[in-house]
Structure 1
Amino acid sequence: MEVNTVFIVLAGLVSLSEAMTTAAATYGCGKTAYTHAAANNGVLFAIDQTCYELIKTHHPWQRSEDDCVSRGGHLAHIENAQQQDRIFQVVTAYHGDNVWIGLNDKTTEETFEWSSGDAVTYTNWVADRLNPDFHYNEDCVAMSFKDQGKWEDVFCTLAHSYAYVCEYDAVAGVSMDHTTLLPAAALMSDGDSSLCPSHLATSTRHLLAQYEQSCYELLLSTSSWTRAETTCTHAGGKVLLIDNANEQNYIEGFLKRHHQTDSVWLDISDRNIEGTFETSAGTAPVYTNWKPNYFSANLHSREDCVAMFPTVNGTWDDISCTSSHHVVCEYGLATVMPGVIVLG
């Protein structure tokens, strides 16, 4: 069976692409899913007539299921290897860690069922999942990132809090106007560094990536915000400035691929006027991804520079400019070579 997968970027919502087109009706995610994803930096995608949302907030299994149910869905159920592969593709690109799915044996040990009530027609277990010491208390199933997406039954309790994938009925005939389709490979790789400024090719101080019309240089050392700005400017670039949710998700994936868990500086601060955030060019940022309740009444006046925190779902916080963090310098592409298509 051919699976028709549409990964979309719409109204600031990000997802993967590698869209497969068929003559069948177009299905997409409904307004409720879009509204939630927009408010929570979610990742929406559709497979056949089902809408999926990757939610990167960590919760225990039951709370995750309850959250999906609150919007008319359930934790994802998986019917075949094609669905498994597509879902794990998104998890790899945008999260890089374990996620809950709807399978569980909470009612009867070793009698697994989907929270949606669908029949179990496919499984993808890790080898030797039966742990004689804990198995009878491991009733909820997660997709294991380190095991290439294979399934593992684990404790349902607070000891295991993961991100999760909700599923909802898709909506037929959803307009795809203003939608940008991006190759999946572009989101899951470091791109083509030959498009980056030539002086970066000989440097050994960094990890390098190219995505759309930017090159990103992750420096292997840490520094203060001011030193980061000086370093990037002298090299012909600027401190990382994220312009949209698509770029936000790409940078999160880039950092995770290279096991970078420390915070990285952004080209945003309120050093000039407290509470008025601007870029080093003096313009207001066009996109933000603030950590909930980032404002600290006690320290806020001394926290003037902004960093992104990969371990907190990629959210941003303002912190002391003199603290030391990793640096990503951003550059424009060198010359776009004939035949090279840059999307964006």
Structure 2
Amino acid sequence: MAQAARLDIMSIAALVAFALTLGARTTFCEGISCGPGWEAFSSSCYKKMVDPNGWLGARFHCVLEGGDLVSFNSSAEEDFVKGKMGARSFWIGLSNLECNHKLCPQVSGKELKWSDNTLLNHSNWATVKVASTNLESCAYVLPNAHKDYHPGKWRKVSCESSLAYMCKRSPDGCQEGQPCNKTAGLALTPVQTSACDPGDFLRGHFCYRFENTKKTWQGAEDDCVLWGGHLASVHSREDGDWLIAHMEDNFHVGLKKNIKMFEWRDKTAMDPALWYPGYPSSDDCGRVSRTGQVYNHQCNSLIVFTCQKGVDVTHRHHQAHLVCAHLRSFSHPCSPAHSTSAAPRLE
């Protein structure tokens, strides 16, 4: 993996290790049930975190709260968590990072595992098998997927996407050797590790925002420009399938006729192989079908839309240095690698 993709992993690992070391010298949780903000189910306590974060930042926050990102041992537990999280996509504790009860120091290159070391005896993937990968990959639940694309199933995406999450811990107190944030007296706070704006997904070199407001093609493009990007481009069936899975209906994409030729907003030409059978027609604007293919329609159609914009690598690098500055304020060494390379394409 490129150095830029290792920045947050190294820095967050150091910060979690420091939090746990410091916590060993402070006051730990003693004999609590669940406590304010936590809710009991079966043999564990759960806390919903509504402010989105990257997977590593989310796990670090859960560690500070005395637990870990949520893991599932049964369908009943998964249904309980989904009921609490509602319609928002959210992280779960599965990743291909090599995690122990303190750190996630490196990509394992193996299939995804629970960060709290729970055995993977229950699964609910949107596909039959999730392939191994040597790229950073983390799992999330997509409640509002298109009905043809398995809503409520698990999927994987770049760990630097920005999603809500839920923490889980023992009802008898904090996990062994781990401090509770509000009782340990730590001067540490959650760290933001996402490369995208809150609630947005990172895929490849782009952040994606799925908008449910219905607008004309031009109205949708204007909104995307205000956000800092453009309507999304589709350069493969895989792109189309991934996009349509996150929307409940057909939607505007960044394809529009330029004189006699169709062109994406990123100035690339339309691949003829991506047209839905029987298209293009005489209309000027593009949308994605339920098959992940593209067809054209009237530009004044009022439908939902998807925006994309490039990843701000400088911002990602700056976040890693903020983590290190926080550590150095406690006289803890930290020297992140220097890199401005773009993120690799992920799942």
TM-score normalised by L of structure 1? 0.38
TM-score normalised by L of structure 2? 0.38
